Amino acid sequence: MTNGYADLHVHTKASDSTFSVEQVLELAKSCGLRAVGITDHDTVDGIAKAVEIAPSYGVEIIPGVELSAEENNCEIHILGYFMDWKNPAFKNKLDELRHSRMERAKKIIEKLAGLNIELKLESVLALTESYTAVGRLHIARAMKLAGIVNDIPEAFRKYLGQSGPAYVKKQFLSPLEAANLIKNAGGIPVMAHPGVLNNYDLIEKVLQSGMQGVEVYHTEHSSGTVEKLKMLASKYNLLITGGSDDHGAGKSKIYLGSILIPYEYVENMKRSLKKEEK
């Protein structure tokens, strides 16, 4: 068994975390992590810097991404690992998804204005890095900073959640489209935090839609959920992954390092890729 631990689900300022790449690596080092998966939403803009500076922290970077999909009117997140993040077709699709995110943010702000809530796009974009991958969490943070809400959960509960008056549906891929996008770039598609769905018929349907792995370990998974997902991983011969889904101070607390999976799971992914290359 290979020594060490990994956290394979971590966000940076390139999407909706408050942490820079340097802060992620500093915290990963302090947690004694051997590897960290950088999995920003619809962008790989944080990976180049992470790969460049990671050796000075003694931490391995697992290049990743988190895509949004939809099945049965439910939002499903798909993680990708070890893809060629410089692949032109892959990056072009991410550019398209990020453009859609920007248009969605504008529509949400318009809806807020219709509720007599003034929020400027510039104040939202100021919370992003290079204006990339803007999302509802940025809007919620801007609302909190403007004193519109007391905290981020309130922003989602009152305005931005699926049943909220300022909700705008974003562009979704199907789970199969997301999986194929990742596979075509040489990566491994993994269903993210399936336990939050609490719908095992839907989970099994998605797992059979091109997935090669399942995120068994997650901060929102109970021990019972972990056991159920392990059984599904065995049933469908899927790789097991796990991670904290850390967003820095963007959510209720800092989770990086709270989910530690044995590095052997990373080795399993690497072996899987080598088999496909033969």
Q: Which of 138, 112, 153 has its CA nearest to residue 43?
A: 138
* Percent helix, strand and coil across the chain, each to the nearest 5: 45, 20, 35
User: Rounded to two decimals, what is the model's pTM?
Assistant: 0.90
Q: Which of 14, 18, 16, 17 has its CA nearest to residue 43?
A: 14
Q: Could you read off the pLDDT tens digit of each residue along the chain, which spans 278 residues?
A: 468 999 999 999 999 899 999 999 999 999 999 999 999 999 999 999 999 999 999 999 999 999 999 998 899 999 999 999 999 999 999 999 999 999 999 999 999 999 999 999 999 998 887 667 898 999 999 999 999 999 999 999 999 998 999 999 888 899 999 999 999 999 999 999 999 999 999 999 999 999 999 999 999 999 999 999 999 999 999 999 999 999 988 776 778 989 999 999 999 999 999 887 76
Domains identified in the chain and CATH numbers? 5-93+172-277 (3.20.20.140), 106-160 (no CATH)
